[in-house]
């Protein structure tokens, strides 16, 4: 068995045929991790010992039976550290399981490792982790994207079969594109946020990184569904997400928004995505020109709403009940001020302060309220677009992975890396990124498909069709 | 529209974050750039969006029945407290 080329589907078939055991998969995975991690550094912690004990009596007939899955370090897992890559939560031990962890375990999956991220999921390069620098598996001098850069890097490096991440403005799809794997943000409310450390609650969704589109549908099927512990959880029934995988895409209407192919996009990225669009047309899909006129406002809307919600959500980190407390704290005020000053990194402070500013007296209407209204306009753009087409196709990121350190001193430039992914969060719709080729420097390019809320099955159908007609997903990075 | 100078020190105080002088200066410039950027929203026509609009991509808030349930075990909560004695979280003295 070559663990770098296996998928959840192929492992399930081998388990069913008794060709291989979960323990052997864990051995192979550990060997791969040992060879790649000194370079990639995508895991913050891992313990395959616990998974090995579970592997002894694993029920491989379950949907994810015997499948090891890595977890982003902002999802609570009982008894495990959950640091959010922040000094503030460096010693925080989860006292309970997030709903997605319970569901993965119920589906037979093993959780064994925690992946690096931008602190509190704020960032697009994973360089804002307080603990370590994760490198892009295709080029060590480049970033893996973010904020779920650890999850993307280990799946891209083939040192994980699959991983969970969270996506607030593109934090699954953008790093998936940059690391050459599949990453998907489900429709808002489809996956419970209970146990996900909150960043921006109206935008956050948990989703997965996988090697293939079908694997992604299998993981989402396991974690999706109504949860009374999340008051924004949607009560709609989750459809069979694999039902349309393998079906003909003839007649599918693919919308191409002109606003996503304008200035700022790397010509090599645009060329790869246009080739993918041509492929869909050649396969009998109908390509429709559409317009999403408020796209230009996406980043402004996002950085008002997300920071406003973050300033509120992160108020819970007060130095009192859990996490970091400054040793200089002498009274209530110094406990708050110093613990937050010493425990948070620069980007987290910057966003809390921006969020506090846009919510402060005199500015609420000018910024927050206006941003909410423009968000409603963005949602209307998609409602109109989905009257003309079944899916929207765009680049995932305007560029390939950029160099480490390149955007660290200019937060606005860093924010612009999310320009194509934010709209799906603002509108609450689903989006997936999958590999669609490499540029001249052998860096992966991501193709994004977006579908209406609860349109995941059609999105997976179209993504799978493209993926299986190409070999991009089979290419394994050589990591030295 | 020009961006008025942001009083970073005041906003940080509202956010309960102590900042060094260097941070105050750096954030001042960066926040100015970001706020100047987001002012592009002034060009969007929001006149048809009602004041009372909701985030209609969510399915609304769903509340559980108001039934008391067991909370987290005390020892699991206290293991994360910066300081704890006899089952209680310890804070610096807050009254003068």
Instruction: Give per-residue pLDDT as tens, A234-255.
Output: 999 999 999 999 999 999 999 9
Q: Which of A169-178, A263-272, A356-365 has the highest mean pLDDT?
A: A169-178
pLDDT tens, residue by residue, B52-94: 665 555 556 777 888 998 999 999 999 999 999 999 999 998 8
Say what the alpha-carbon torsion angle A419, A397, A181, A269 is, to the nearest 10 degrees: 160
Residues B91, A318: C-beta atoms closer than 8 Å: no
Helix (H, G, I), strand (E, B) or coil at A450: strand
Residues of chain B with Cβ-Cβ distance to A99 below 8 Å are: none
Higher pLDDT, A383 or A417: A383
- Pairing between strand A391-395 and A253-257? parallel
- For the segment A453-464, the average pLDDT, to the nearest whole number, is 98
The reported pLDDT for the residue numbered A371 is 96
Does residue B2 carry a pLDDT above 90? no
- Across A92-101, A137-146, A336-345, B86-95, least confident range: B86-95
End-to-end CA distance of chain B: 47
Does residue A283 carry a pLDDT above 80? yes
pLDDT tens, residue by residue, A32-78: 999 999 999 999 999 999 899 999 989 999 999 999 999 999 999 99
Q: Is A34 a catalytic residue?
A: no
- Contacts of A188 by beta carbon, 8 Å cutoff, 6+ apart: A202, A203, A205, A232, A234, A425, A428, A429, A453, B57, B58
* Closest-CA distance of chain B to residue A193, Å: 13
> Whose structure tokens read 């375990």?
A105
Q: Is A391 exposed, middle or buried (0-12, 13-18, 19+ CB in 10 A)?
A: buried
pLDDT tens, residue by residue, A148-198: 999 999 999 999 999 999 999 999 999 999 999 999 999 999 999 999 999
Q: Is A407 a catalytic residue?
A: no
Q: How confident is the model at residue A1 (pLDDT cuts 50, 70, 90)?
A: confident
Contact criterion met (CB below 8 Å) for A74 and A120: yes
From the list B56, B59, B80, which residue is nearest A322 (CB)? B80
- For the segment A361-378, the average pLDDT, to the nearest whole number, is 93
Contact criterion met (CB below 8 Å) for A459 and A451: yes
Residue A375 CB neighbour total at 10 angstroms: 28
- Contacts of B54 by beta carbon, 8 Å cutoff, 6+ apart: B60
Residues A371, B56: C-beta atoms closer than 8 Å: no
Contact criterion met (CB below 8 Å) for A100 and A219: no
The mean pLDDT value of chain A amounts to: 96
pLDDT tens, residue by residue, A430-456: 999 999 999 999 999 999 999 999 999
CA dist., res. A107 & res. A264, Å (int): 43
The reported pLDDT for the residue numbered B32 is 93
- For the segment A292-310, the average pLDDT, to the nearest whole number, is 96
The reported pLDDT for the residue numbered A409 is 84
The reported pLDDT for the residue numbered B57 is 54
The reported pLDDT for the residue numbered A29 is 97
pLDDT tens, residue by residue, A76-89: 999 999 999 999 99
Does residue A202 carry a pLDDT above 80? yes
- Across A188-192, A364-368, A411-415, least confident range: A411-415
Residue A233 CB neighbour total at 10 angstroms: 24
Q: Is B33 exposed, middle or buried (0-12, 13-18, 19+ CB in 10 A)?
A: middle
Per the residue annotation, which of A12, A14, A54, A72 is the catalytic one?
Answer: A72
Does residue A7 carry a pLDDT above 70? yes
Does the pTM surpass 0.95? The reply is yes
The reported pLDDT for the residue numbered A412 is 83
Label residues A21-54 b or e (16+ Cβ within 10 Å = b). bbbebbbbbbebbeebbeebbbbbebebeebbeb
CA dist., res. A397 & res. A94, Å (int): 33
| Cβ contacts from A onto B, under 8 A | 166
Q: How confident is the model at residue A417 (pLDDT cuts 50, 70, 90)?
A: confident
Per the residue annotation, which of A86, A151, A166, A171 is the catalytic one?
Answer: A171
From the list B38, B53, B91, which residue is nearest A304 (CB)? B38
Residues of chain B with Cβ-Cβ distance to A320 below 8 Å are: 82, 89, 91
Residues B27, A340: C-beta atoms closer than 8 Å: no
- For the segment B17-27, the average pLDDT, to the nearest whole number, is 94
Residues of chain B with Cβ-Cβ distance to A341 below 8 Å are: 17-19
Closest C-alpha among A130, A131, A167 to residue A151: A167
- A105-to-A9, A99, A155, A257 alpha-carbon distances in Å: 18, 10, 20, 40
Q: Is A170 left (phi over 0), alpha (psi -120 to 50) or beta?
A: left
Per the residue annotation, which of A124, A147, A148, A404 is the catalytic one?
Answer: A147
Chain A interface mutation, best of B80, B81, B89, highest count of A Cβ atoms under 10 Å: B80
**Residues of chain A with pLDDT > 90: what percent?**
95
Residue A351 CB neighbour total at 10 angstroms: 26
Q: How confident is the model at residue B1 (pLDDT cuts 50, 70, 90)?
A: low
pLDDT tens, residue by residue, A96-135: 999 999 999 999 999 999 999 999 999 999 999 999 999 9
The mean pLDDT value of chain B amounts to: 88
The reported pLDDT for the residue numbered B56 is 55
**Residues of chain A with pLDDT > 70: what percent?**
100
* Closest-CA distance of chain B to residue A3, Å: 37
CA dist., res. A191 & res. A188, Å (int): 7
Q: Is A147 a catalytic residue?
A: yes
Question: Encoding tokens for residue A310?
Answer: 């973050």
């Amino acid at each position: 068995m070559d663990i770098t080329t296996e998928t959840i589907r192929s492992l399930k078939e081998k388990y069913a045929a008794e060709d291989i055991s979960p323990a052997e998969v864990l051995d192979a995975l550990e060997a791969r991790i040992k060879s790649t991690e000194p370079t990639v550094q995508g895991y913050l912690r891992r313990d395959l010992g616990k998974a090995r004990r579970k592997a002894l009596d694993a029920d491989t007939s379950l949907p994810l039976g015997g499948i090891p899955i890595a977890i982003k370090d902002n999802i609570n897992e009982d008894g495990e550290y959950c640091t959010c890559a922040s000094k503030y939560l460096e010693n925080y031990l989860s006292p309970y399981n997030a709903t997605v962890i319970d569901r993965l375990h119920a589906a037979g999956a093993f959780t064994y490792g925690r992946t690096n991220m931008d602190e509190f999921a704020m960032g697009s390069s994973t360089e804002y982790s307080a603990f370590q620098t994760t490198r892009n598996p295709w080029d060590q001098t480049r970033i893996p994207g973010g904020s779920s850069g650890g999850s993307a890097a280990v799946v891209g490096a083939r040192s994980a079969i699959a991983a969970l991440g969270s996506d607030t403005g593109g934090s699954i799809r953008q790093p998936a594109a940059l690391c050459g794997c599949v990453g998907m943000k489900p429709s808002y409310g489809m996956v419970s946020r209970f146990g996900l450390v909150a960043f921006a609650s109206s935008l956050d969704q948990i989703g997965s990184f996988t090697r293939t589109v079908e694997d992604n549908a299998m993981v989402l099927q396991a974690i999706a569904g109504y949860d009374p512990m999340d008051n924004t959880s949607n009560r709609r029934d989750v459809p069979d997400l694999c039902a349309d995988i393998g079906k003909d895409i003839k007649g599918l209407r693919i919308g191409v928004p002109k606003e996503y192919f304008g200035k700022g996009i790397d010509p090599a990225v645009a060329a790869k995505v246009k080739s993918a669009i041509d492929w869909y047309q050649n396969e009998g899909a109908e390509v429709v020109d559409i317009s999403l006129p408020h796209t230009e406002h996406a980043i402004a809307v996002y950085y008002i709403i997300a920071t406003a919600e973050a300033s509120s959500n992160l108020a819970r980190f007060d130095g009192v009940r859990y996490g970091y407390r400054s040793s200089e704290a002498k009274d209530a005020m110094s406990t708050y001020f110093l613990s937050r000053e010493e425990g948070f990194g620069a980007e987290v402070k910057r966003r809390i302060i921006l969020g506090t500013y846009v919510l402060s007296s005199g500015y609420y209407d000018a910024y927050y309220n206006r941003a909410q209204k423009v968000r409603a306009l963005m949602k209307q753009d998609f409602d109109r677009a989905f009257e003309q087409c079944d899916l929207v196709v765009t680049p995932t990121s305007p560029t390939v992975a950029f160099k480490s350190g390149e955007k660290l001193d200019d937060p606005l430039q860093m924010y612009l890396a999310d320009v194509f992914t934010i709209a799906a969060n603002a509108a609450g719709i689903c989006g997936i990124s999958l590999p669609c080729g490499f540029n001249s420097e052998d860096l992966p390019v991501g193709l994004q498909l977006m579908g209406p809320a609860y349109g995941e099955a059609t999105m997976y159908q179209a993504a799978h069709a493209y993926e299986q007609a190409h070999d991009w997903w089979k290419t394994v990075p050589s990591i030295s | 529209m020009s961006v008025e100078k942001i009083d970073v020190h005041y906003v940080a105080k509202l956010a309960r974050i102590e900042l060094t002088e260097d941070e105050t200066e750096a954030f001042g410039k960066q926040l100015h750039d970001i706020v100047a950027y987001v002012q592009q929203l002034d060009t969007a026509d929001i006149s048809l969006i009602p004041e009372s609009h909701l985030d209609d991509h969510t399915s609304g808030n769903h509340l559980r029945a108001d039934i008391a349930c067991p909370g987290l075990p005390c020892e699991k909560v206290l293991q994360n407290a910066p300081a704890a004695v006899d089952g209680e979280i310890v804070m610096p003295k807050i009254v003068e």
